[in-house]
Amino acid sequence: QQPVQSPQAVILREGEDAVINCSSSKALYSVHWYRQKHGEAPVFLMILLKGGEQKGHEKISASFNEKKQQSSLYLTASQLSYSGTYFCGMRGGATNKLIFGTGTLLAVQP
Amino acid sequence: DVKVTQSSRYLVKRTGEKVFLECVQDMDHENMFWYRQDPGLGLRLIYFSYDVKMKEKGDIPEGYSVSREKKERFSLILESASTNQTSMYLCASSPARTSYEQYFGPGTRLTVT
């Protein structure tokens, strides 16, 4: 079952903050976040591992609540370049397989 | 830089045709993946491979098969294309360890008429 992302879409002005949430009905081992700009391939942003280790982007932060099976991506002081569709991918065990959410469309306006 | 390439950006095929989508990666990654992307449905995993000649079904394998004869190449095969397989197909690769990111190719937009 796919993770649920919220909101489905959000429009911001430059400099505003945004939070994108991702939740799963299954126990999680790690959460991956990707951004896809229009017409381009998804690009890796961040991995959050069970136990708290985090690897990824310096200007974007995220949290991972293992007990609630939820993750949130925090975009602060948004820039025009942040526009795109954000996907969370969740891994439920010792597997290389990710189950991706349905995506959150973020549009940053001047 | 990791590079994942896909054989075509756009492809138009007729119903019933056999379709091959090719993906090549140049970073000696063990894992390779095929996804399809549809509006409102996100990225859905069709098949993945964790080694040469090894494969595992994803969430929507029906109507598809795969082949991995060489480590760098992973092919997606539509045995008999149908209109409901019109979609964007994305290939990805990653190193063996599960905590590593996936690198995506540019995608192939397949239209089946």
Instruction: Extract the tokens encoding B92.
Output: 């990805």
**Whether B86 contacts B10, CB under 8 Å:** no
Instruction: Give the pLDDT band of residue A55 (cuts 50, 70, 90).
Output: low
Mutate which of A97, A104, A105 to disrupt the B interface (most B C-beta within 10 Å)?
A97
Nearest CA in chain A to B32: A96
Chain B nearest CA to A60, separation (Å): 16
d(CA A95, CA B24): 22
Amino acid at A33: W
Say which of B43, B59, B98 has its CB closest to residue A95.
B98
Segment B89-102 shows an average pLDDT of 85
> How high is the pLDDT of residue B6?
96
According to DSSP, the β-strands at B103-104 and B87-94 are antiparallel
Q: Which residue of B has its CA nearest to A54?
A: B99
Q: Binning pLDDT at 50, 70 and 90, where does residue B110 land?
A: very high
Burial class (CB in 10 A: 0-12, 13-18, 19+), B6: buried
Q: What is the pLDDT of residue B33?
A: 96
Q: Is B27 on the interface with A (CB under 8 A)?
A: no
CA nearest to A32 within chain B: B101
How far is B29 from B42, CA to CA, in rounded Å? 24
Give me the mean pLDDT over the A69-96 stretch: 89
